[in-house]
Amino acid sequence: MGIAWRRARLLERRSQTATARTLVLTAPDWPGHLPGQHVDVRLTADDGYQAVRSYSLAAPADGDRIELGVQAVDGGEVSPYLTDGLPVGAEVEVRGPLGNWFVWRAEQTEPALLVAGGSGVVPLTAMVRAHRAARSRGPLHLLYSVRSPEDVWYRDHLADGDPLLDVRIMYTRQAPPGSVRPPGRITTADLDEATARLKPASPVYVCGPTGFVEAVDNLLIDRGRDPVTIRTERFG
Amino acid sequence: MADATTQLDGNCLAGPLSEILSVEPTTAWWRCPECARSGPLAELHVYGPEPGLTARCPGCAHIALRLVREGEHIWLTMGGGTGAFRFATSP
Amino acid sequence: MTSFSPGFQGRGRRLTDRLPPGQYPTESFPVLSAGPTPRVPTETWSFTVTTELGATHSWTWDEMMALPQQETTHDIHCVTRWSKFDTQWRGVPLDAFLEDVETAADYAVVSSYGGYTTNLPLEDLLDGKAWIVHTYDGYPLSPEHGGPARLLVPHLYFWKSAKWVRGLTLTHEDEPGFWESAGYHNYGDPWREQRNWGD
C-alpha cells in the first residue's frame, strides 16, 4: 500500500556549508517529482531499529537522480549520519515524492516570491532551478535570510545573471564587506520591496525554522497579503 | 527537515499517511471545530515525530489528528477524542 | 546485517542490567512534545485532587512547597528508547497529597496544563513510587521539561510522568489518557517492554 520504500545509492556528497551537505542519490525507477516536494529517508541499524526523517529535494526531476539537502543537527540521530557517516556507494531507503501542497509547477507563469530562512532554502532551490528550465516564465524573487556569508547554500544555483530571477541574500549576524543592508532579521521593508512586484493573487512560498516562518507569515499578513496566497513549510 | 523532536507542519505527514490513504493527504482541507479556522492539512502544526505525530490547529492548538507507528501498524486517532484505528501496513 | 545504511547504529547501545529491553543510555535529556509548551506562572499554579465522588482538594504553589520535600534519584526510561541514569529530583511524594483524601477508587487520570492526560492504577502513585517534582539537577524545572512542576513515576515509561501537572482525578474505571488512547500501552512497564497497546 501507499508509496513504496525503494533503495537509493549515494553517488556524491557535496559540502554546502561547514555542516550542510547535498546528497546526490540514484533511485532506480524514480517516478519524477515537483519542485518543493520531499522524501522520507529510512535508516536501519543491524539490530533492526529504524529511524525515518523527511528531507526536501533540492533539484528538479532528473531521471533517477535525486538531490537532498541535509543540515547536520547537533545530537541528531539521522542527520549527522547522512552528512558525514553514510559511505558513498552505500544505500539508504527513500519513499517519495511526497507532498502536493508546498510545490511550484512550471506552468505557473505569474510572478512568485520565495522566502527562505537558513536550510529552508532547499525546496526553494528546486523551484529556482525548475524555473530556469521552464519555457514560459514569470519573474521569480527569492529572499534568503542567513546568519553570515559562510552559511549560504547553493551559491552557484542562485547567482547566474538570469534576468527573470531576483535573489536577495539578507544576513542576520554578519554581512559581507560593502553590504548596504545592515545585518538583521527580515523586516517589513525587505518584504515590501519584493511584494511590490507581485500581483494580489501571486503565490508566496516561505520555508525555514518555525520561528522564521511564523515571523514572515505575520509580516506578510500585516501588510495585507491574502493568507490564501501564502504556502509555508516549517523545518523544526 | 528536522532531526529532533520539534514542531513541524502537516507536510511531514505525507509519507506516514500515504501508508493508509490512497490520495495525497497534505492538500486535504480541514476546518477546526474549536475556532473555525480552515486550511490545508499541510499548514497544521505537527509535534513529533516521537512518541507520535500530533497535528494541531495553527490557530488554537486544538488536535486535528494523532498518528502512532507500531512496527507494521499505524494507529490513527482523528480529533482530540478517544477511539483509535489501528491499520496494518504492508512492509 | 542489513545491506543498507551501513554503520548506522541509531544511538550507541550498551547492555547493562540497568537498561530495560530495547533501551539505550543517553547523557542528554531529550525533549519530546505533543503540543505547545505551556508557560505556567507559579503564582497561578495549583494542584487539585478530585475524588470519584467529585470532592476536590487543592494546593497552591506555596502550599505545595510547604509540604515535606524529598530529594530522589532515579533512572528514567522513555518509550522512544532512551534511558537516563541517576536523574536527580526534588519534590513532594504523592502520598502527601493523598493522605487525607477519602477514596475507594482504583485508578487515577493525571491531567496537565495544556490538556495532556495519562492514566495509571492508584497504587502506582502511592508508597513512595511517585512525586510531584519542581527541581531537576538542583535547578527549577524548565518549562520544556514540564516546569513549574511535573509528575515523576520513574518505574513506568516516562510518558506517564506528565509534564505541567495540574491535578489528578480518581476513578473506578481505567480511562486511557492522551497516548494510551492513541496506540500506546495502558500500563507501560519498561521492564516488560509494554510499549504499544498489544504488548
Residue bearing the bigger pLDDT, A103 or C6: A103
Residue C16: what pLDDT? 65
Q: Do A91 and C5 touch (CB under 8 A)?
A: yes
Q: Do C184 and B51 touch (CB under 8 A)?
A: yes
Residue C14: what pLDDT? 54
Summarize pLDDT for A149-188 with one digit per residue, the tens. 999 999 888 877 788 999 999 999 999 998 999 999 999 9
* 3-state per-residue secondary structure call for A120-145: HHHHHHHHHHHHHHCCCCCCEEEEEE
What does pLDDT average to over chain A? 93
Residue B1: what pLDDT? 42
Summarize pLDDT for B61-78 with one digit per residue, the tens. 999 999 999 888 999 999
Q: How many residues does chain C have?
A: 199
Report residue C195 as a C-alpha cell: 510499549
- Half-sphere exposure (Cβ direction) of A148: Cα atoms closer than 13 Å: 6
Chain CA centroid to CA C138, Å: 19
The dihedrals phi and psi of C122, each to the nearest 5 degrees, come to: -60, -35
Q: How far is it, in rounded angstroms, from Cα A135 to Cα A123?
A: 20
Size of interface B-C (CB pairs under 8 A): 65
| Alpha-carbon dihedral sign for residues C12, A79, A16, A214 | negative
Cβ-based interface (< 8 Å): residues of A facing B: 1-3, 38-40, 52-56, 73, 75-79, 95-96, 98-102, 210, 231-236
Residue B1 has its nearest CB partner, among A1, A96, A236, at: A236
Q: How far is it, in rounded angstroms, from Cα A196 to Cα A203?
A: 13
Summarize pLDDT for A83-107 with one digit per residue, the tens. 999 999 999 999 999 999 999 998 8
Which residues on chain A are in Cβ contact (under 8 Å) with B10?
A: 101
Report residue A115 as a C-alpha cell: 522566502
Interval C90-97 mean pLDDT: 98
Report the share of chain A in percent with pLDDT over 90.
81
Q: Do B82 and C176 touch (CB under 8 A)?
A: yes
Residue C2 has its nearest CB partner, among A44, A51, A85, at: A44
